[in-house]
Amino acid sequence: MVLAEFFIPHGHCYLWKPGLVGLHLISDFLTALAYYSIPLTLTYFVTKRSDVPFNWIFWLFSGFIIACGTTHIMEIWTLWHPNYWLSGWIKAVTALISVVTAAELVRLLPQALTIPSTAQLEAEIKERQKAQAELWQEKTHLAQAQSVAHVGSWEFDLATQDITWSDETFRIYGLSPGQPTLTLSEHRQTIHANDRKAWKKTVHQLVRGKSCQLEFRILRPDGFIRHLFAQGEPIFNAQGQVHKLFGTLLDISDRVAAQQRERLFGAIALRIHKSLDLDEILDTTVTEVRQFLETDRVLIYRFNPDWSGQIVVESVGEPWTAVLNTTLDDPCFGKDYAQLYQQGRVSAIANIYTAGLQPCHLQLLEPFQVIANLVVPIILGEKLWGLLIVHHCRSQRHWQSYEIELLQQLATQVAIALQQSELYSKVQAELIERQRIEKELRVSEQRYRSVVTAMSEGIILQQADGQIIACNVSAENILGRSAQQILGQIGMNWGGQIIQEDGSPFPSQNHPAMVTLRTGKPQVRVIMGISPPEASLLPCPVNDSPVAGNKAKSGGLKLRHKEPICQEQRHNITWISMNSQPLFNPEDSQPYAVVTSFSDITESKRSQEALHLITQQERERALQLEQALQELQRTQAQLVQNEKMVSLGQLVAGVAHEINNPTSFIYGNIAPASNYAQDLLHLVQLYGKHYPEPVAEIAEYIDYIDLDFIATDFPKLLASMQEGARRISEIVQSLRHFSRLDEAECKQVNLHQGIDSTLLILKHRLTQQGNRPPIQLVKDYGQLPLVKCYPGQLNQVFMNILSNAIDALDEAHNPAYLSGLPSANRGNSNHLSPINHHPSPMIWIHTEFVEPNSVIIRIADNGAGIKAEVQSRIFDPFFTTKPVGQGTGLGLSISYQIVVDKHGGQLQCHSHHPQGTEFVIKLPVTKSL
């Protein structure tokens, strides 16, 4: 674009801070997106509403808004491309369109004000809409009320013979709303034959002007019979004559069926509870069911163990064949069907010939003359005892849900009758057995009392409220209390004190008997100590407590509630191991009592305490020795590391000294040699000028040695030698700075010299190594004052951190490491360092002065990073993440001690694996060391 190369991108104004650049980028993008969407909406509106006056002003608005959006797009573009002239011209176009739009808008304002007001029109429309909405709401509410109450309405015009039904009336008659309403003759045909006479009589009463109501039945198209309750009112005209009939209709089928079921179910249930004659109960059941359902046959079928069976009870009407005592062996009925019926399966078939039954089933049912079949299982306990079966032989029949529910309830009552019969037969045997058992129990109880009395363990029996109601002699001896002192007590109120193993008071709610009574769960091996009734246990003073230790220095003789009791008082304690077992009534979930057994473990407890004390002392000695050994190993390793650094410094200083002497000779003689060479070359030039024709031998030798090339190249050669000597001198100076043999004491130094000398020593590692490209070094030095420190030790810190950074970059470019790294993480980083987005290996060194008295050195790399689970241990001695043989684990530990302990500074590590690492060194400038 025009003159773009004379400017810088706008992003430099934001210092390329990702957050700030992202904020402007997102804000301008969303604003431009909104600006571009508004013209689209306006365009759509104008194209759809061509009747809108002054629609051309919308096009001007669209152009103005698009231009505004374009200016925001240019704001994003100039973040990276400095095309400010183009951005300015776009803004100028935007301003021009804005001015034109504003001028046209002002010009159109008087014309727009002359447009007639639509307030009256809107008011009239709203009033009409409100009236229509209220009318529609009333109709809707009426329809909803009828639907909720299941009440339909009807109207009959005597003059036109037209019948009008509500939607709910259609649903009651099994029709869909919107179908043609039935005519009077069609409606008469839907009424049950037995109810038509009463219905006709009621209609005549309504025509004569009398209000009336009627219960009747209808036959719906789906074959179901419904019971209805209708109420009617005559409507009179102005002459007082009935010209319309109006009424409501309520479906009461469920209520009628429920009443009939309740009467039948109650009668059968009453017969079951009053009679123990099973045959009479079953005969009554099948007879009542057949009469209630108005069907042809009801029978009870009982299974044998091999799933064959026999019809044991039957009620059959005329003229159908009786099948009582018929034995059946259904080849289709097996374990699969038995499992289904045992799970509560009900078979309701309207027509066996159209239900898709297997041929073997049809062959079995044909002798029974059955067409419709209803089968309900009779389950006794968890066993399938038999089937309650209803046969409708005269025609097909759609079984109603209430009929199925009734049969299921009756099957349950039959199962109860069967259980009652079985129980009655068992009662006689159980009475004899109970008398025998009671006699044996009396003998067993006497034997039990003898055993409990002779036991060495203490036994206590407590009621549900915790009161002790029984104990044996051993319990008296162990607790040191008489039976009179123990019986009648609640919980642990035995006199004296009860403590836990640590010497603290034993909470009464944690007593095993109380826990068992509360939870119903047994308690095992609960240890407690019991003092004699006359003894009183007090906490030890802090300095006398066996575990007080150094706490006595600050606690004095203050008594603490949970402090262990004194050693001499523990000899007065009886230690017991207690178990508790709940006692349940068969029908209860909470125990009615608890039995507690306990044994005296005082001697065993004292032996364990002595052994524990000895073990504790030995463990403490071993821990002290282990800590001393670790400290010795750490100190030894640090001394070895320090000695290595001292040796390295001496070696570097010696090498620097030896190189410095010959280099000084060379560097000092190059200047005179250069002058001599210039003089000689000048002499040769003068000789050639005054003696242009040398002898043949000299001319031949001049051509041989190429005198012109020598005259040109020899000064360059001397200059190159001088530059090399100067470079060697700088290297020697850097080596002396790093060794700092003459700077072992604390002094003020320039930290940049130490960093540069360290980088010079590591320069050979910054070059390309195997699969790793050369490491780019970014030095972002700030203005630092002289810092008072131990320069040699700080150089060691710089060496350790920079060496680790190079190792991390080597690892990050190892093919084995890259193959195990998820592709989503390669080259991706959110780390705070500004170098992580670079694909090539890089080390970034940043220094800055922080008010009032600190300097910060940041050393960051974009290498492999450190995993989060090991970051907290990187400064621990001997801890290393490098393979065996490649690291001692002392570098960062020694560096941490030098920075924090020796200089009073801070050393922090920030790393996001696998996105690089940053070490931050913060040092005081003038802290007294």
Q: Please state, as a whole number, how many other Cβ atoms lie within 10 Å of the Cβ of residue 85.
A: 14
CA-nearest of 488, 484, 512 to 498 is 512
pLDDT for the residue 391? 93
638 burial level (CB within 10 Å; 0-12, 13-18, 19+) = middle
pLDDT band at 860 (very low <50, low <70, confident <90, very high): very high
pLDDT for the residue 558? 36
In this structure, is the dihedral angle defined by the CA atoms of residues 567, 568, 571 and 577, taken in order, positive or negative? Answer: negative
Contact of 260 with 288, CB cutoff 8 Å? no
Q: Taking 90 as the threshold, does the pLDDT of residue 693 lie above it?
A: no
pLDDT tens sequence across 322-367 = 988 888 877 676 666 777 888 888 989 999 888 888 888 888 888 8
Lookup: tokens for 772: 């790793």
CA-nearest of 295, 330, 290, 328 to 312 is 328
pLDDT for the residue 5? 56
Among the ranges given (145-149, 413-417, 474-478, 715-719), the one the predictor scored with the smallest mean pLDDT: 145-149
Cα 654 to Cα 188, 658, 736, 740, 792: the distances in Å are 129, 6, 9, 12, 16
Q: Taking 70 as the threshold, does the pLDDT of residue 858 lie above it?
A: yes
Q: Measured in Å, how far apart are the chain's first and last C-alpha atoms?
A: 61
pLDDT tens sequence across 162-174 = 888 888 888 888 8
Distant-in-sequence contacts of 31-37, Cβ < 8 A, 24+ apart: 31/69, 31/72, 32/69, 32/70, 32/72, 32/73, 32/76, 33/69, 34/69, 35/65, 35/66, 35/68, 35/69, 35/72, 36/66, 36/69
> What is the pLDDT averaged over residues 889-916?
83
Highest-scoring range by mean pLDDT, 354-363, 612-621, 778-787? 778-787
pLDDT band at 316 (very low <50, low <70, confident <90, very high): very high
Question: What is the Cα–Cα distance from 804 to 858, expressed in whole angstroms?
Answer: 14
> What is the pLDDT averaged over residues 262-275?
72
With tokens 């029984």, the residue in question is: 470
Question: What is the Cα–Cα distance from 274 to 858, expressed in whole angstroms?
Answer: 98
Cα 385 to Cα 239, 346, 415: the distances in Å are 73, 15, 8
pLDDT for the residue 654? 66
The strand pair at 776-780 and 842-850 is best described as parallel
Lookup: tokens for 814: 């190892």
The strand pair at 372-380 and 347-349 is best described as antiparallel
Question: What is the Cα–Cα distance from 800 to 410, expressed in whole angstroms?
Answer: 91
Element (H, E) at 361: helix 359-365
Question: What is the Cα–Cα distance from 487 to 467, expressed in whole angstroms?
Answer: 8
CA-nearest of 656, 828, 824, 858 to 751 is 858
pLDDT for the residue 848? 94
> What is the pLDDT averaged over residues 141-166?
78
DSSP per-residue string spanning 813-880: T-HHHHHTS-GGGTT----SSTTTT-SS-EEEEEEEEETTTEEEEEEEE-SS---GGGGGGTTSTT--
Question: What is the Cα–Cα distance from 640 to 648, expressed in whole angstroms?
Answer: 12
Q: Please state, as a whole number, how many other Cβ atoms lie within 10 Å of the Cβ of residue 880.
A: 19
More confident residue, 890 or 388: 388
pLDDT tens sequence across 463-472 = 888 888 888 8
> What is the pLDDT averaged over residues 822-847?
63
pLDDT tens sequence across 721-749 = 776 776 676 666 666 655 554 455 788 88
Q: Please state, as a whole number, how many other Cβ atoms lie within 10 Å of the Cβ of residue 304.
A: 11
pLDDT for the residue 390? 93
Element (H, E) at 802: helix 791-812
pLDDT for the residue 548? 41
The size of the chain, in residues, is: 929
> What is the pLDDT averaged over residues 239-257?
85
More confident residue, 513 or 651: 513
Q: Taking 90 as the threshold, does the pLDDT of residue 772 lie above it?
A: no
> What is the pLDDT averaged over residues 764-775?
84
635 burial level (CB within 10 Å; 0-12, 13-18, 19+) = exposed
Among the ranges given (206-220, 265-279, 667-681, 811-825), the one the predictor scored with the smallest mean pLDDT: 811-825
With tokens 């003998």, the residue in question is: 443
**Angle CA 632–634–640, to nearest 5:** 100
pLDDT band at 375 (very low <50, low <70, confident <90, very high): very high
Contact of 408 with 376, CB cutoff 8 Å? yes
pLDDT band at 145 (very low <50, low <70, confident <90, very high): low
Question: What is the Cα–Cα distance from 336 to 317, expressed in whole angstroms?
Answer: 33
Contact of 480 with 532, CB cutoff 8 Å? yes
Cβ-count burial 575-608 (b if 16+ within 10 Å, e if not) = bbbbbbbbeeeeeeeebebbbbbbbbbeeebeee
The upper half-sphere exposure of residue 38, i.e. CA atoms within 13 Å in the direction of its Cβ, equals: 18
pLDDT for the residue 559? 35
**Angle CA 20–24–28, to nearest 5:** 170
More confident residue, 40 or 658: 40
The three state secondary structure string of 641-690 is: HHHHHHHHHHHHHHHHHHHHHHHHHHHHHHHHHHHHHHHHHHHHHHHHHH
Backbone dihedral region of 549: left (phi > 0), alpha (psi from -120 to 50 degrees) or beta?
Answer: left
pLDDT tens sequence across 472-506 = 888 888 888 888 888 888 876 666 688 888 778 88
CA-nearest of 454, 301, 468 to 391 is 301
Phi and psi, residue 225, nearest 5°: -100, 130
Task: Name the pTM for this structure.
Answer: 0.32
Phi and psi, residue 55, nearest 5°: -70, -15
Indicate the average pLDDT of the chain. 79
Highest-scoring range by mean pLDDT, 188-192, 506-510, 682-686, 710-714? 188-192
> What is the pLDDT averaged over residues 29-41?
81
More confident residue, 4 or 586: 586
pLDDT for the residue 648? 60
User: Is the peptide bond between 852 and the residue preceding it cis, with omega within 30 degrees of 0?
Assistant: yes
**Angle CA 213–215–216, to nearest 5:** 130
> What is the pLDDT averaged over residues 28-40?
81
Percentage of residues of the chain with pLDDT beyond 70: 81
- Between 253-274 and 278-293, two packed helices, what is the crossing angle to 10 degrees? 170
In this structure, is the dihedral angle defined by the CA atoms of residues 157, 161, 167 and 171, taken in order, positive or negative? Answer: positive
pLDDT tens sequence across 413-422 = 888 888 877 7
pLDDT for the residue 737? 58
3-class DSSP state of 157: strand
Q: Taking 90 as the threshold, does the pLDDT of residue 262 lie above it?
A: no
Which residues are bridge partners to 594 per DSSP? Answer: 462, 582
DSSP per-residue string spanning 219-237: E-TTS-EEEEEEEEEEEE-
pLDDT for the residue 538? 54
More confident residue, 603 or 661: 603
Contact of 462 with 493, CB cutoff 8 Å? no
pLDDT tens sequence across 518-567 = 898 999 988 888 877 665 555 555 444 444 444 333 333 333 344 455 55
pLDDT for the residue 888? 64
The radius of gyration of the chain's CA atoms, rounded to the nearest angstrom, is 55
3-class DSSP state of 741: coil
3-class DSSP state of 277: coil
pLDDT for the residue 537? 54
Segments of 176-224 assigned E as strands: 212-219
Lookup: tokens for 141: 């509410």
pLDDT for the residue 284? 84
DSSP per-residue string spanning 482-505: -HHHHTT-BTT-SSS-EE-TTSSB
Contact of 216 with 231, CB cutoff 8 Å? no
pLDDT for the residue 550? 40
Cβ-count burial 225-241 (b if 16+ within 10 Å, e if not) = ebbbbbebebeeeeeee
More confident residue, 423 or 398: 398
The strand pair at 523-530 and 854-861 is best described as unpaired
**Angle CA 407–409–412, to nearest 5:** 110
